[in-house]
Each structure stands twice: as C-alpha cells, then as structure tokens.
Amino acid sequence: MILKQRSIPEELLILRYLRGRLKDLDEDHLKILEKGFAGELQWDTIVTDALTSSRSLLLNDLLLTSGGQMFQIDSLLLSKKFTIFEVKNYDGEYFVENDRWYTITKTEIQNPLIQLHRTETAFRRLLRDLGIHIPVEAYVVFVNPEFTLFHAPYHPSILLPSQLKRFLQKIKQETCEITNKDQMVAEKIASCHLKKSPYTRLPCYSYEDLDKGIRCGCCERFLFPLSQSYVYCEICGGKEPVEAAVLRNITEYQTLFPEKLVTTIGILNWCGGIVSEKVIRRILKKNYNTKGSNRHTHFV
C-alpha cells in the first residue's frame, strides 16, 4: 500500500509553467529534473506491480531532517525492515575507476554510493531519535534499461536493471502482513516530511517578464480562439474547451504568483485577451468563491 504518494516537485512544476513564457530559461536543468522524475515514476510502477499491496508500505519522495542535516529519500519501503531506494534514471555507458564514476566520455559524476551512505546514516539517526528500532537496508536503483556500467566491482547496494525483477521477488517472499504497529511507524515517518525544500533552483522572474496567453496542454504553444466555446493550437491542431483551458491557466497563475489575488482583469490579462472578460468572469464565479465587492472583488 502506498502511504505517501509521489507528487510533482514544486521546482519542476514551476519550471514547466515558465517554459515558453520566460526567455533564457535553463532548459538543460529542466531536462535533468524531468528525467529524474520520470525515473522515479518508472520505479513506482515497477515496485507496485511486483509487491502485494497488503504486505508492504511505501512512502515516496520524503524530505527529512536529522541532527541538523536535511536529506531526501526517493522511495522507502517498510515490510519487516526499512528499505531505502535511491532511484537513478541514467542512460548510456558509464564506468568506475578507483571508486570514481565517469560517463563513457570521461566526465566525472557524483558517486551515487556516497550519497546513499549519507542518506542511510541520516535516516538511522532519525529512527534512533524517534525511538524506532527496525533494521535498515539501502540501495541505488538504476531503472533505465539503456544503462550500462563497466568495470564496477560487485557492490551489494547497487541494483542494475537486470537485477530488479529477481530482487523484488525476493523481497516479496520475505514480506509478511502489515500490522497496526507498522502502520503507526510509517505514519510517524510520513509526519516528519518537510513540505518546502531548500534545494530548489528557480530563476528570477516577475509577472512583467512572462509572455501572456493560454498554452496548449500538449505542445505548450500558445492557443488561439476557435469559437466562443473552444480554443485551438495552430501547431498540433488540438482544441480544448474554453473553461478547461482557462482553469488550467489559473492554476499556473496561482502557482507562479501565490501572492497575487485572482481577479477577473488579472486572469483576462494572464490569458492574453483571447477570452472575453464576460467569459472569464462567468468561469470564475462558477468555479471559485467570490470575496469582496466592486473593484475589490477577487476569487478564492
């Protein structure tokens, strides 16, 4: 059973919303985040398909602190013991030399085992502080089938793509029914999760910096009015009901500018004027609660 679901990281979500609106966005950083998140989602599918839900508890995407040290856990499984999974979505060829990791072009990368060791140590300290006495194991999981690692000595904490099926079968055989105590322990760990990460790397942006309009949900190009009821994309040919498109754009607006009030004129401008003020007002009144009156009217 998944006790804590994985959600899109705030940093990734904001960068997605800025793409196509902000000039000079760091696309390489965005691609790295997208790739990492895709690997985590792939791992979620692999592990949930392999394990019986009633015999394990899964906590995803934890941000924890212990002894003044903040650390992240991609995936944490509880079933008789805690198993930490550090998920990597590397593709291509890599090699190890003198405990240093390199791409095939000899670019050095961070040794994932060092990161794993730090996470495991910090988590053990957190368990001790909470008075929880359950064994802990930790693994670096490589989920991409296109990943190849040369010259790596055997390490019990490395799980390559070809090993995942057998490893999870072994875990499944070792699991037993989840008890109320297990549930309480997992919920205690989940309650320690920190919602705001200090590791986010966002560009500076302001409302004035961003291109206005409603972006296509498929190709992210700006949409055009098709009729009173639909907007459409000239690039991919997709069309979308006006109300759905405006509501999606309001979500972007609120995420990018949480300090701004949602007003009819504000959303009209944010949508680039492709939808009339009358339609914007109708959509807001239908889907949000009205606060204030006259020129102070806004929606929550």
Integer Cα distance of 111 and 100 in angstroms: 6
Residue 192: CA count within 13 A, CB half-sphere: 20
Query: Cα torsion at 60, 128, 125, 135 (round to 10°)?
Result: -60
CA-based nearest residue to 6, from 51, 32, 44: 44
CA-based nearest residue to 248, from 200, 283, 298, 210: 283
CA-based nearest residue to 256, from 15, 50, 2, 3: 15
Q: Which amino acid makes up residue 174?
A: E
The answer to whether residues 71 and 64 touch, using CB atoms and an 8 Å cutoff, is yes
Residue with tokens 């001790």: 128
What is the structure's pLDDT at 176?
83
What is the structure's pLDDT at 139?
98
Integer Cα distance of 268 and 273 in angstroms: 6
- Taking residue 75's Cβ as centre, other Cβ atoms within 10 Å add up to 22
What is the structure's pLDDT at 180?
92
For the stretch 38-66, pLDDT in tens is: 999 999 999 999 987 668 899 999 999 99
Integer Cα distance of 231 and 246 in angstroms: 10
For the stretch 242-268, pLDDT in tens is: 999 999 999 999 999 999 999 999 999
Integer Cα distance of 187 and 155 in angstroms: 32
For the stretch 100-152, pLDDT in tens is: 999 999 999 999 999 999 999 999 999 999 999 999 999 999 999 999 999 99
What is the structure's pLDDT at 54?
66
What is the structure's pLDDT at 175?
84
What is the structure's pLDDT at 296?
84
pLDDT (mean) for 270-284: 96
The first and second tokens of residue 277, run together, are 């003020």
Label residue 138 exposed, middle or buried (CB < 10 Å: 0-12, 13-18, 19+).
buried
The first and second tokens of residue 74, run together, are 């991609």
What is the structure's pLDDT at 53?
64
For residue 273, CA distances in Å to 86, 136, 174, 220 come to 45, 56, 60, 18
For the stretch 5-36, pLDDT in tens is: 999 999 999 999 999 999 999 999 999 999 99
Q: What is the DSSP string of 40-91?
A: HHHHHHHHHHHS-GGG-EEEEEEEEEETTEEEEEEEEEEESEEEEEEEE---
For the stretch 188-218, pLDDT in tens is: 999 999 988 888 889 999 999 999 999 998 9
- pTM reported for the whole predicted model: 0.92
Q: How many residues does the chain have?
A: 300
The answer to whether residues 137 and 119 touch, using CB atoms and an 8 Å cutoff, is no
For the cut 90, the answer to whether the pLDDT of residue 295 exceeds it is: no
